[in-house]
Amino acid sequence: MKSNKFRSRLARSRQSLSRGLGQLFTAKKLDDSHLDDLEDLLISGDVGVSASQRIVTQVKRASKAHRVSTVESLNSVIQTEMLAILKPCENLPEMTGHPYVMLVVGVNGVGKTTSVAKIAKHFQQQGKSVLLAAADTFRAAAVEQLHTWAERMDIPVIAQHQGADAAAVAHDALTSAMSRNIDLLLIDTAGRQHTHSDLMEQLKKIKRVLAKVDPNTPQEIMQVLDATTGQNAVSQLRHFDSAVSVNSLCLTKLDGTAKGGVVVAIADEFKLPIRFIGIGEGADDLRPFSAESFVDALLLQD
């Protein structure tokens, strides 16, 4: 990642944390009240209760060993523990199977269709042949949006009329991908709240239909999460994972939030691969996730 641009896009999250750490650090040795304040600061930054407690435990140990005497040394301990939480999430799924099928899911408004297009571009630039499936048949604009992106990238799209059966679109797309010897099939689905039981059942149907064509598909079910929603993103993931067994993530809109710590909370609880993070609206602003780049941008002082 281009570190300067990445750091600038995560400035709101970094400033929120660094300001709090600066106010917190008033003594050579952190006492219990300081540690409580640190835990509160991390939780308020959407790092999550479990991850915050884990980080504070390490800070307490370092403080007892007299390794925390400045804001910088405190930052270093936090950085090390965040990396321990996030590093395993760089272990991305191997793209086995031909075609490799990614079923992309999420609630309304998270930037799913745009993310699908940007992911397609990423793999196209790696020399992969890509096919898109417009299985968001509820929203006419979604199909048009996907077509617009696809035309720019010269990537084919399988689509049907508005209101068509999304599972039928996915079926046609998979059989087409197989006949064309496509490397990667990306399936865009309709945004849905977990409370919409009929739409959640639709996702399960898409999975069943794909598996009937090829029992090994979809190899990857990627959920797109909006980082600006903080702990709501954690709740959304719990529900989708329960319904369709999510096995990878894409986090968007990190440039517009002070809630960047939610990435740590999600990694700590779910331990799922984070394939991409979005730091802007540009075509190149969806980046492969790097734990070190993320933690540096979140914690290192300007």
The range of the structural domain enclosing residue 39 comes to 3-89
Please check the confidence at residue 66 and state whether its pLDDT lies above 90: no
145 and 202 share a domain?
yes
How do residues 81-114 score in pLDDT, each as one tens digit?
Answer: 999 999 999 988 889 899 999 999 999 999 999 9
Q: Work out how many domains the chain is built from and give that number.
A: 2
Q: Is residue 297 part of a domain?
A: no
Of 63, 89, 115, the last residue of a domain is 89
Provide the CATH number for the domain around residue 284: 3.40.50.300
Of 32, 67, 89, the last residue of a domain is 89
Between CA 280 and CA 256 the distance in angstroms is: 8
Check the CA dihedral 144-145-148-153 and report its sign: negative
How do residues 170-222 score in pLDDT, each as one tens digit?
Answer: 999 999 999 999 999 999 999 988 777 888 899 999 999 999 999 999 999 99
Q: What's the predicted TM-score (pTM) here? A: 0.92
100 and 244 share a domain?
yes
Residue 151 Cα to chain centre, angstroms = 26
The helices-and-strands tally (H runs, E runs) of the chain is 12, 8
Q: In what order do the strands lie in the sheet with 100-105?
A: 157-158, 130-135, 184-189, 100-105, 220-226, 248-252, 274-278, 286-288
112 and 226 share a domain?
yes
For residue 302, name the pLDDT band (cuts at 50, 70, 90): low
* Averaged pLDDT for residues 220-231: 94
* Averaged pLDDT for residues 279-301: 85
Q: Six-digit token pair at 170?
A: 């996915």
pLDDT of residue 256: 72
Provide the CATH number for the domain around residue 67: 1.20.120.140
The β-bridge relationship of strands 184-189 and 100-105 is parallel
Share of the chain above pLDDT 70, in %: 97
Of 33, 61, 89, the last residue of a domain is 89
Higher pLDDT, 62 or 68: 62
For residue 43, name the pLDDT band (cuts at 50, 70, 90): very high
Residues contacting 66, CB < 8 A, separation 6+? 29
